[in-house]
Amino acid sequence: MDDAAILAGLEEIIRELFDDYDGPVTPALAAADVEQWDSLANVQLMVLAERTFAVRFTTAEISGLANLGELAALIRAKQG
Amino acid sequence: MSAAVDAAREIAPGAGPATTRLIEAQMRAFPEHEAALRKRFALADADPIFCETLAGMIERIAGETLAAVCDDYRWLAGAVLEEELFFRREGRYRLTSFAEAEALVYADAAYMTRYMNGLLLSQLWWANHTAVLAWFRDRYLPANRPGARHLEVGPGHGLFLHLAASDARTSEATGWDVSPASLDQVRHTFAALGKAPPPLSLVNLFEPSPEQFDSICFSEVLEHLETPAKALARVHDLLAPGGRAFINAPVNSPAPDHITLFSTPEAIVELVSGAGLVVEELLLAPSTGASLERARKFALAISTVIIARRAD
């Protein structure tokens, strides 16, 4: 799966989970940009991404990502 | 004035001095929690007067160990995130039996200290916890009859029991727990708050007792039990006819020692009704910053509080 497809899949999750957010979803999007993106919602985001892309994250990976672009890159790496 | 105090005042501009001091201490131990604290104190229902009362109590209970207590809250936040991850992946709590919780949590004194310290601060940092305590003081206790005999089962830190024991309508208050360490915690709280502790007893709720009470507080216990329906039946039997109960349990709230998952507030209401108690009032307090609608949609934690009465 290429970067564009991964980002499109992540955008769907973001739009569903953070339904108050109507700004752009770009690789630079980070938790600080989205009011509803707190630590518990971050866990939900990661588990939804695991299901969507058939990957599994470690706890350190879940808490260590700076933005959506890093998440997309991690998914791509895990998919090989 | 230090930068930390400035930061704390910016996080909660309308907060009183004790609240500001607690935020300052928490920011020193857990600066990554700033966004969560900002969200918590931006809420319209973050009543600064009640928060200040609560902060003053927490400050006195923590005493000289406040920095360590703040470190323990940081640890708790990490532990809860681990459980949240399991819950979101598996759709259930990690533990399913009291024996597991006993072995992994309750029998480990060091673990319990950190856990209880962290939970002490959660009373202020988690909006739903604060809301439940405020409702107990402002809604439940004022409707007790004068001279009420009050029991709390599983009093935790003793904050609810202290409020009940301090209420003018309470003639006698008492606390039951199965853990001597928990009762010691309550004694510490009363000593820190300058009040003689009420009678505290090692009692298993499931064992028969001839005593009856006009008022029972049963807060954050059901989710720790394998047989919550049986426990509520005991609460019913321990109430005198016409007696009232304050029953609080969370839905979708993974934690290291939670074993019974309630998926909806209605499941808890049904359980209370099923025990023969008449549900009179209901408070649904979703996790910090979430609307009730959002909490239901995404299966977030909701503190479900029921004021019930024994009819007969």
pLDDT tens track for A30-65 = 999 999 999 999 999 999 999 999 999 998 899 889
> What is the spatial distance between Cα B266 and Cα B181, in angstroms, rounded to a whole number?
33
CA-angle at B206, arms to B200 and B210, nearest 5°: 70
A32 CB neighbours in chain B (<8 A) are 35
Most A-contacting residue of B30, B40, B81, B288 (CB-CB within 10 A), to test interface = B81
As a whole number of angstroms, the distance between CA B91 and CA A51 comes to 13
Domain A3-79: state its class.
Answer: mainly alpha
Cβ of A46 within 8 Å of Cβ of B84? The answer is no
Q: Which residues of A touch B82 (CB under 8 A)?
A: 59
Using CB atoms, pick whichever of B35, B36, B88 lies closest to residue A43: B88
A40/B81 touch (CB, cutoff 8 Å), yes or no? yes
The confidence band for B7, taking pLDDT boundaries of 50, 70 and 90, is: confident
Fold designation for B127-310: Rossmann fold (3.40.50)
Q: How many angstroms separate the CA of residue A80 from the nearest CA in chain B?
A: 23
Question: From the candidates A40, A55, A62, which should be mutated to test the interface with B, based on the most B CB atoms within 10 A?
Answer: A40
All residues of chain A having their beta carbon less than 8 Å from the beta carbon of residue B84 are 40, 43
Encode pLDDT of B59-79 as tens digits: 999 999 999 999 999 999 999
Residue B149 binned pLDDT confidence (cut-offs 50, 70, 90) = very high
The answer to whether the Cβ–Cβ distance between A35 and B39 falls below 8 Å is: yes
Please answer yes or no on whether A62 and B85 come within 8 Å at the CB atom.
Answer: yes
Residue boundaries of the structural domains of chain B: 3-125, 127-310
pLDDT above 80 for B138 = yes
Q: Which residues of A touch B39 (CB under 8 A)?
A: 35, 38
* Residue B165 φ/ψ region, left for φ over 0, alpha for ψ in the -120 to 50 degree band, beta for the rest: alpha
Reported ipTM: 0.95
Q: In what order do the strands lie in the sheet with B170-177?
A: B200-202, B170-177, B148-153, B213-219, B239-251, B302-310, B277-286
Whether residue B88 and residue A44 make contact (CB cut-off 8 A), yes or no, is yes
> What's the gap in Å between the CA of A67 and the closest CA on chain B?
16
Give me chain B's average pLDDT, please.
Answer: 96
Distance from CA of A40 to the nearest CA of B (A): 7
- Selecting from A17, A38, A63 the residue whose C-beta is nearest the C-beta of B289 gives A38
Structure-token pair, residue A31: 């938790």
CB contact under 8 A, B89 and A50: yes
| B122: contact with A, CB 8 A cutoff | no
Chain A residue numbers touching B300 (CB-CB < 8 A): 40
pLDDT 10s digits, B17-67? 999 999 999 999 999 999 999 999 998 777 899 999 999 999 999 999 999
Closest by Cα among B310, B306, B213 to B265: B306
**Binary contact (A44, B287; C-beta < 8 A):** no
The answer to whether residue B1 scores a pLDDT higher than 60 is no
- Report the pLDDT averaged over residues B219-243: 98
Q: What pLDDT shows up at residue A80? A: 81
